Amino acid sequence: MLILMKKRPFLLASLTVGAIFLFFVLVIFTAGFFRSGSSLVAVGEKVGILNLEGPIVNARQVLEQIDQFRNQTAVKAVVLRVNSPGGAVGPSQEIYSELKRFAQEKPLVVSMGSVAASGGYYVALAGERLFANPGTITGSIGVIMSFPNYQELMGKVGVETEVVKSGRFKDIGSSTRDFSAADRELLQNMIDDVHQQFVEEVSLQRNMPVERLQPFVDGRIFTGRQAQQAGLIDELGTFNDAVKFAAKLAGMGDDPDLVYPEPEKRSLLDRYLPDVISRYLGIELGAQDMIGPQYMWRVF
């Protein structure tokens, strides 16, 4: 066997690399198995941790996680950790509505990370107590829609688009024609209505008259400290402060056990391919789902 390996160094190197690869795969799956298994052990009273990370594109996974905590008798309270610039209006409203229902069953406390703006703030409104760091970026109470216009570029390369439509607004937002005054008025009325929905929820959840909110709902962002002064959050504090407060609401000790939702079952390709494409190609998979008005703090 030793003689065979000396004659075939490439075979030896391949077997060595393969063995190392299999070892790391085994480590990853073993760690994932124990993590997922221990995250849902319903022994003793616990505080559930619900993480909302990144742009809000789809509500499905978060709604499933809320249901997990609702059905776990060991989970006595939940901390929603928000680190999001917001996202699509529909999913933001879905998550917010479901969190409001959940908050009627178990205490819900919010901890804001580096950013909880626009839709991130909208979702956070469902919490009984809102914590933010002094430097957290929050606010951005507003709505945005954007439409690229490629008409001039397409004209330079000799490309034209012929449209047949049933009504004058059917191709509104088209990237191959200019906005008309009627288009702009229709879209502005829609944006104003969606914005008003946001303002009404802020007024309701923060117990502030709409008139008092007017200086703060023009899309501007705030630090956590500014947001507290404006009445948009309750306390300046860390994630641990929010956990302790949630435990107190649930009648638990100051050092509660934490439990996380069961990890979504995804293949290794599904886990890492979007990150690779985003990092090296600059393409955000799933961004195509974010069509229409957005509760989104956008930096162009």
Q: Which residues contact 68 (CB under 8 A, 6 or more apart)?
A: 40, 261, 262
Residue 197 inside a domain? The answer is no
Residue 14 inside a domain? The answer is no
3-state secondary structure of 299: coil
Instruction: Check pLDDT > 70 for residue 134.
Output: yes
CATH number of domain containing 228: 3.90.226.10
Residue 188 inside a domain? The answer is no
H-type helices in the chain, by residue range? 2-7, 9-39, 60-71, 89-103, 119-124, 151-156, 181-206, 210-213, 224-230, 239-249, 268-281
**Average pLDDT of span 127-151:** 94
Range(s) of the domain holding residue 71: 44-141+212-296
Residue 220 inside a domain? The answer is yes
Active centre residues (catalytic): 118, 170
Residue 291 inside a domain? The answer is yes
Model confidence band, residue 292 (pLDDT cutoffs 50, 70, 90): confident
Higher pLDDT, 24 or 206: 206
Contact 227, 202 (CB under 8 A): no
pLDDT tens, residue by residue, 247-271: 999 999 888 999 999 876 665 555 5
Residue 124 inside a domain? The answer is yes
Residue 151 inside a domain? The answer is no
| Greatest mean pLDDT range, 33-47, 49-63, 151-165 | 49-63
Beta bridge partners of 131: 111, 235
Residue 230 inside a domain? The answer is yes
Counting the structural domains of the chain, the total is 1
Q: Which of 4-13, 170-179, 195-204, 254-263 has the lowest mean pLDDT?
A: 4-13
Read off the pTM. Answer: 0.79
